[in-house]
Amino acid sequence: MALEPTTPLTPRQSKVVGALLGLHAGDSLGASVEFKCHTQIHTQYPNGLRDIIGGGLLSWPVGHATDDTDMTRAVLLAYRELHDNPLQDVAILAGKHFLNWYRGDWPGRKPGSRPRDVGLATRAGLHKFSKTLDPEKAGAGEGKAGNGSLMRCLATGLFQSDPDKLVKESMRISMITHDDERCTISCAVYNHIVAALIRDTSPESAVDAGEILAERLENKKDGDVWKAVRLGRKLSIARMARDGPDLGEMKGACSGFVLETLALAIAAVLDKRSLEDVLVDVVRIGNDTDTNGAVAGGLLGARDGVDGVPERWKAKLQFGDEFMRIGVELTPE
């Protein structure tokens, strides 16, 4: 797979494409050890898994997208359609692409086949959305606070330049499957940070902006999402990769709770090491390794640009060429 653009990328294009490929790479790297705990990964890969090798519990082909990247692609396709017709509702467009994915109208799948991995909240939300086609009348309900909408929300941060629309679209796309406020606000905060990073804002200032937005959306200074951002500032990815998740900080052991995945991503983007070293360590922490890797990878790619993603990883990504092409197409020079 050749991922070389025909013309050099602008700095902004590099960050946009880097974010998309960083998410895909984190997902594909983590898929090989998904559901394994820190101890199991440490035993099998004492220095961390450093290559995209496929396999895992669901026997993934090398570099294949899991639901994280597939659903990110669905939102990306919605923004490409919005670019051609700005009067459309991007949340409804995204939801329709989610349904295509769920029903088997998707690259690399037998027509009509179900995805290998679908979260319970995602399944419930898509069932409702298929009947209403209304993002605000779908969702799995309050109390369902998994990371299934945070994992796919990246394109809004990359391609919606209006701050108010960014918040609204992030939250409405989340509502299709995850309408708990911890999920909808986490998506808005994450995308606010992404938008700052691709403007070449420093990671520290981008996280500051996300924290301020969390306080505004939760209408208090100690809300759950605000606390997750603050926690991310204190976490050490390297320490958790070495010792495992601190259950005092991460009561869910990094196994799919939206606030923990957001906190890990914040810690990752503030880690001054290379994208590769940080993502390898995020995966070493264990449990929901593909989604934690994907969400962190999106921020790291927006921070470091396309050159931060190792060439040996980029060469294996199922949607690598498509993500680069659409990312460049939708990003003003």
51 labeled part of a ligand binding site: no
Question: Are the C-beta atoms of 280 and 50 separated by less than 8 Å?
Answer: yes
Question: Are the C-beta atoms of 150 and 190 separated by less than 8 Å?
Answer: yes
134 labeled part of a ligand binding site: no
288 labeled part of a ligand binding site: yes
331 labeled part of a ligand binding site: no
In angstroms, rounded to a whole number, what is the distance separating the alpha carbons of residues 141 and 282?
29
In angstroms, rounded to a whole number, what is the distance separating the alpha carbons of residues 301 and 266?
13
Q: Go through 148-172 and write b for each residue having 16 or more CB atoms within 10 A of its CB, e for each that does not.
A: bbbbbbbbbbbbbeeeeebbbbbbb
Tokens of 271: 């880690």
Question: Are the C-beta atoms of 26 and 296 separated by less than 8 Å?
Answer: yes
> What Rg do the C-alpha atoms of the chain give, in angstroms?
18
Residues in the chain: 333
Which residues, in sequence order, are CB contacts of 232 under 8 Å at separation 6+? Answer: 207, 262, 263, 264, 265, 266, 267, 270
Q: Quote the Cα angle for 237-240-241, to 5°.
A: 80
Q: Go through 36-67 and write b for each residue having 16 or more CB atoms within 10 A of its CB, e for each that does not.
A: bbbeebbeebeebbbebbbebeeebeebbbbb
In angstroms, rounded to a whole number, what is the distance separating the alpha carbons of residues 114 and 29?
22
- Other CB atoms within a 10 A radius of the CB of residue 254 amount to 26
66 labeled part of a ligand binding site: yes
Output the known binding site: 66-68, 288, 290-291
Residue stretches of the annotated binding site for Mg(2+): 66-68, 288, 290-291
